[in-house]
Amino acid sequence: MKMKLQEVYSALKIQAEDIPNVQITGVCFDSRKAKDGDLFFPIKGERDGHDFIESAIANGASASIWQKDHPIENHDIPYVVVDDVMAAFDQLAKYYLNKVNPKVIAVTGSNGKTTTKDMIASVLATDNNVAKTPENFNNEIGVPFTILNMPINTEILVVEMGMDRPGQIEHLSAVANPDVSVITMIGEAHIEFFGTRDKIADAKMEITNHLQEDGLFVYDGDEPLLNERAESLEQNTATFGKNDSNTIYTTEINSHKEKTTFKTNLWPDLEFSIPIMGDYNVNNAMAALLIGRRYHISAENMQQALANLYMTENRTEWVKAKNGADILSDVYNSNPTAAIEVLDNLQKLSTGRKIIVLGDMLELGSASKELHESLADHIDPNDFAKVYLVGKEMKALYDLLVQKYQPADLSWYSKDQLDDLTANIKEELNSDDTILLKASHGIHLENVLKELI
């Protein structure tokens, strides 16, 4: 980003005289990360962002937004008075987006958003100047922040969009006006707030509400809820999945501990490789391939980009226990679809004894008992020698698994018994074992992980 403060006033349609000659080279909303050239947006969170303007100045901010319903104070930097800080954030982002004028790829979905964003950016960067959402900055703050901090020479911007309520994706899509909209999949994440998967699908489809007229909608073609809704779109569509009715589908998949290889119908003789475990990640890769094809990236370049993929975050990661055992850690997020995918892929690995530790999957509302029970069909003593379950919601799964497992191989703990859980795992875990830890963050299995490694 590069603009004079005068241009900020103009973009926000604010009339003023004697505007200081200040160069703005970025924006920030966290005063601790402010630097020279930044325009500080005092966004209200748990505390009012205006309380941190002095901190932003101390860390180098060159100017600040100021909401006019706050008493005006004297500061050592110029401030731009606006009616609403968040509205100004969006307005300036839209202005800068139009100024740079990149192609915009917007990505949402119940699972796989960040991975798919990274894959798309990696594929497109083989022949373009690409910027993407940092980390998982995918909400009302993160999307305009991503836009305003992209370099002036950006040709393609890949934006991740998350949601936890209806209308949120609509708002983000209106800011970004995507050229390509992507939905990775429809799962049960946040079903407590939406009630049904149908309503989740409706909310995710908001990503197409501001899709350019000549835009492309890329989605999971194995999902009936998306197929139904895509029929009403006037824009072109392209689908990925396992069924041969999709635009791109897999003809071969080989799962390994730290990579997955696959072939597709579009390039039958070309084997693609991604440096992460899981058949479910192949769908994310195929979405990236469809977008790469739209922007004329060669198959060979896409193959190389996926093989050398750099992940923003890979919460499902392999780490070593103190005794040498392999730990597959995913302690920050869990929902039924993701849990089933990890279980199904883990049981395919030709490793030694496998142990699983599963904690509550949160925000499932009235469907929680049924959805926790749904994991039972994917857990068998022939695949997983020992099962440890944590949390009150996992009690429903425990009550089903007692029909399959011997008492010594199946345990249940309340969430305040993590010390007991850790001690029992340490006592049982062998150096040649593989153990999975997966739960929603509210269960805090990261504390168990810390003790094991």
Question: What share of residues in the chain are helix, strand, coil (percent, to 5)?
Answer: 35, 20, 45
- DSSP calls for 128-170: S-EEE--TT--STTHHHHHHHTS-TT-SEEEEE---SSTTHHH
d(CA 143, CA 173): 9
Predicted pLDDT of residue 189? 76
Predicted pLDDT of residue 352? 87
Q: What is the DSSP letter of 72?
A: P
Q: Looking at this protein, which amino acid is placed at residue 38?
A: D
Sign of CA dihedral 271, 276, 277, 278: negative
Whole-number mean pLDDT of the chain? Answer: 95
d(CA 339, CA 319): 18
Confidence check: pLDDT of 191 > 60: yes
Predicted pLDDT of residue 152? 95
Confidence check: pLDDT of 314 > 60: no
Confidence check: pLDDT of 24 > 90: yes
Provide the 3-class DSSP secondary structure of residue 284.
helix
Predicted pLDDT of residue 52? 95
Answer whether 130's CB lies under 8 Å from 119's CB.
no
Answer whether 258's CB lies under 8 Å from 232's CB.
no
Which residues of the chain form CATH 3.90.190.20?
A: 317-452
Residue 311 CA, chain-centre distance (Å), reads 11
**What token pair was written down for 449?**
């992980």
Give, in words, the CATH class of 3-83.
alpha beta
> Model confidence over 105-139: pLDDT tens digits?
999 999 899 999 999 999 999 999 999 999 889 99
Predicted pLDDT of residue 51? 94
Pairing of strands 272-274, 260-264: antiparallel
How many other C-beta atoms are found inside a 10 Å radius of the C-beta of residue 44?
A: 12
- CA trace torsion 160, 162, 168, 172 (10° rounding): -10
Residue 206 CA: distances (Å) to CA of 128, 202, 428:
28, 7, 48
pLDDT grade for 453, boundaries at 50, 70 and 90: very high
> Model confidence over 59-114: pLDDT tens digits?
999 999 999 999 888 778 999 999 999 999 999 999 999 999 999 999 999 989 99
d(CA 121, CA 373): 37
Predicted pLDDT of residue 404? 96
102-307: CATH, from 3.40.190.10, 2.40.40.20, 3.40.1190.10, 3.30.950.10: 3.40.1190.10
d(CA 99, CA 324): 53
pLDDT grade for 359, boundaries at 50, 70 and 90: very high
pLDDT grade for 315, boundaries at 50, 70 and 90: low
Predicted pLDDT of residue 284? 97
Which residues of the chain form CATH 3.40.1190.10?
A: 102-307
Task: Return the exposure string of 407-423: e unless at least 16 CB atoms fall within 10 Å of the residue's CB, then b.
Answer: eebbbbbebeebeebbe
Answer whether 96's CB lies under 8 Å from 1's CB.
yes
Give, in words, the CATH class of 317-452.
alpha beta
d(CA 184, CA 200): 13
Predicted pLDDT of residue 350? 73
Number of helices (H), then strands (E), belonging to the chain: the values are 16, 21
> Model confidence over 415-443: pLDDT tens digits?
999 999 999 999 999 999 999 999 999 99
Which residues of the chain form CATH 3.40.1390.10?
A: 3-83
Q: For residue 72, with 0-12 CB atoms within 10 Å meaning exposed, 13-18 middle and 19 or more buried, which class applies?
A: exposed
pLDDT grade for 380, boundaries at 50, 70 and 90: very high
Share of the chain above pLDDT 70, in %: 99
